Structure 1
Amino acid sequence: MTRLSRFFDLVLIAGFLAGLLFPLLVLRGHSTSVTEKRALAPLPSWPASAEELMTFPSTFEKWFDDHFGGRHRLVQAYHLMALALGSSGTPRVLVGSKGWLYYTDPNDGNNVEDYRRTDPLTPQELERWRLVLETKASWLKSQGIAYLFLVVPNKHTIYPEYYPSRIRVRGERSRLDQFMDAMHGSDVPVMDLREPLRQAKIFGPLYHKTDSHWNALGAALAANLILEKLGSLDPGIHGQRFGVDDFSWHSTPGGDLARMLSLSSLLREVRVPVIRPGRLRCAPKVPEPVLDAEDPDLVITTCRSEGKSAVVFRDSFFTGLRPFFSEHFTRTVYTTALPEIDTLEQFVRMYAPDVVLEERVERYLKVLPKAPDSSSEPYRALLEARRPRALNVP
Structure 2
Amino acid sequence: MKQPVQTLFVFVFLAMLGCGGWLYWYVFAESKFVEKAKWEGHAPAGITNAYEQEFTRQLSGQRHPIVTGLAALKWDALDISFIRKVEKGREGWLFLKEEVPGRNELLQSLGIRPYRDLERKLWNLIITQRAEWAGSLGMRYVMVVVPNKTTVYPEYLPARYRPANVELINRSLPDPPGVMVINLTRDLIGQKSLGQLYHKNDTHWNELGAFAGYQSLMRALPPEFRETPLPLDSAELQWVTEPGGDLARLLLMDHVLVEKAPRVALRNPRAKCEINCDEPFGPWMAAKHFRNPRARLPKVFFDHDSFFKTVTPFVAEHFQETIFSWVWQGFHQDVIEATRPALVVDEFVERSLIGDRPRNVPPVLQHYWQQHFNTLPQVAQQACHSLRQAFRQIEMIRAEKDELPVVALELTPASATRLIVEYDDKEVFYPLEAGKKNTIYLEWERPRVKDLRVEGELKAPVWVRVGVY
Counterpart of 2:395 in structure 1 is none
Q: Of 233, 240, 243, which aligns to 1:250?
A: 240
Runs of 5+ unmatched residues, structure 1: 1-7, 43-61, 384-394
Counterpart of 2:89 in structure 1 is 96
* Higher mean C-alpha displacement, 241-250 vs 352-361: 241-250
Counterpart of 1:127 in structure 2 is 121
Contact map agreement 2:242 2:259 (CA 8 A) in 1: yes
Contact map agreement 2:273 2:291 (CA 8 A) in 1: yes
* 1:266-295 superposed Cα distances (whole Å, 9 cap, x missing partner): 11112x11124625333434437849xxx8
In proportion to residue count, which structure has more helix? 1
Scaled by the length of structure 2, the TM-score of the pair is 0.61
Q: Which amino acid aligns with 1:96?
A: G
Number of residues paired by the alignment?
Answer: 338
Q: Which amino acid aligns with 1:165?
A: A
How do 1:292-307 residues align onto structure 2 when only pairs under 5 Å count?
A: 296-305=284-293
Identity of aligned residues (%): 25
* 1:86-129 superposed Cα distances (whole Å, 9 cap, x missing partner): 33221121110100001123416212321342322122322223
Q: Of 173, 176, 191, which aligns to 2:182?
A: 191
| CA separation of 1:263 and 1:30: change in aligned 2, threshold 3 A | farther
State the distance in 2 between where 1:289 and 1:250 align. Answer: 24
Tell me how large the CA RMSD over aligned residues is.
Answer: 4.2
Counterpart of 2:263 in structure 1 is 274
State the distance in 2 between where 1:25 and 1:106 align. Answer: 28
Higher relative contact order (CA 8 A, sep 6+): 1
Runs of 5+ unmatched residues, structure 2: 38-46, 374-469
Counterpart of 1:222 in structure 2 is 213
3-state SS, counterpart of residue 284 of structure 1: strand
Q: Which amino acid aligns with 1:358?
A: D
Q: CA deviation at 1:351?
A: 1.6
Moved over 6 A (4+): 15-18, 33-37, 170-173, 371-375
Contact map agreement 2:71 2:81 (CA 8 A) in 1: yes
State the distance in 1 between where 2:98 and 2:68 align. Answer: 19
Q: Of 76, 80, 86, which aligns to 1:87?
A: 80
Contact map agreement 1:146 1:233 (CA 8 A) in 2: no
Q: CA deviation at 1:142?
A: 3.9
Q: CA deviation at 1:31?
A: 4.7
3-state SS, counterpart of residue 289 of structure 2: strand
3-state SS, counterpart of residue 159 of structure 2: coil
State the distance in 1 between where 2:369 and 2:228 align. Answer: 31
State the distance in 1 between where 2:239 and 2:278 align. Answer: 34
State the distance in 2 between where 1:110 and 1:360 align. Answer: 15
Scaled by the length of structure 1, the TM-score of the pair is 0.71
Contact map agreement 2:329 2:352 (CA 8 A) in 1: no
Q: CA deviation at 1:375?
A: 8.0
| CA separation of 1:232 and 1:209: change in aligned 2, threshold 3 A | same
The answer as to 2:330 corresponding to 1:336 is no
Q: CA deviation at 1:211?
A: 0.6
In proportion to residue count, which structure has more strand? 2
Counterpart of 1:3 in structure 2 is none
How do 1:130-149 residues align onto structure 2 when only pairs under 5 Å count?
A: 130-149=124-143
* 1:310-359 superposed Cα distances (whole Å, 9 cap, x missing partner): 2222111112222222333324131306445xx53x23322211211111
